[in-house]
Amino acid sequence: MTTSEEIGKEVEKFPLTGRFLMGRLRDAMDDSEKQIVESLVEDVADYDGPQTILERGQLSDRSTMLIGGFVLRTIRSGEKRFVVGVQVPGDFVDLHAFALKRLDHDVITIGQAKVGYVPHDRIKSVMDTDPHLARLLWFSTLLDAAIHREWIMKLEQLRAPRRVAHIFCELQQRLEFIGMNVANRIETPLIQADLADMCGTTAIHMNRALRDLREQGLADFQRGKISIPDREELCAFADFNADYLYGEGVLGMRGELDLSQK
């Protein structure tokens, strides 16, 4: 596991993209490839609240690197909103728009967020000239797909208290990868309505689910702040296994995509 000090140095050296693939395949890139990824960002934008940065069906000629804050993927059906993904710093949020050109969902910032915009012609240049780096970019989109599959399965398997507990465990692990997990406390701009839309339930049921977690001493959610007294206990309750995040465990990379594979 990369230490916080090592992550800090990496972010200082590459302030726009230093968290990209951190905890997974960051070490499979050499400094020249990291610099290429950093140079992909053409424009940087700061948002203070909810902002749709890509709408469903909108023709896209650029993709988004999340530098700071959180981003949601959402789909609307009638009057109902469904949150089908949450992104953390270092995520190449909509890289798959390079291939698809139009997404089937909206990409929305929440709270304060900083994003970097990457023109698709720059990504094409990487595809043409650096197959190893192109493969790592492809890996990042496949990682999103693995997370989506886990969400689908857990939505079917778990009732609301365990489902939201699973989301808390996932967020804690993903933030730990990028050096942003502070002890047993997670700072997010999420609200109860976001959690309800992630779990496919109502605000009332989500309020009850959060109360259940609090009364059992497993987790406390207050204005986006998530407190987790005992991580192992919460993970056991949520049936959370981090393998699908491709950091460690049976699915963790062990040099398969390192520079020797270029």
CA dihedral 47, 11, 167, 24 (to 10 degrees): 140
CB 128 within 8 A of CB 137: no
98-140 confidence digits (pLDDT tens): 999 999 999 999 999 999 999 999 999 999 999 999 999 999 9
150-196 confidence digits (pLDDT tens): 999 999 999 999 999 999 999 999 999 999 987 789 999 999 999 99
**Measured CA angle at 81 (ends 146, 87), to 5 deg:** 40
Whole-model pTM? Answer: 0.94
Range of the domain at 27: 4-261
Q: Can you give the CATH number for the domain in which 57 is found?
A: 2.60.120.10
244 Cα distance to chain centroid: 13
For 243, what's the count of Cα atoms within 13 Å in the CB-facing half-sphere?
5
Q: Comparing C-alpha atoms, which of 217, 220, 214, 192 is closest to residue 205?
A: 192
Confidence of residue 227 (pLDDT cuts 50, 70, 90): very high
111-121 confidence digits (pLDDT tens): 999 999 999 99
Q: Which tokens is 211 given?
A: 């109360």
**Cα Rg of the chain (Å, integer):** 18
- Placement of tokens 């720059």 in the chain: 122
pLDDT at 255 over 80: no
Mean pLDDT of the chain: 94
**Number of domains composing the chain:** 1
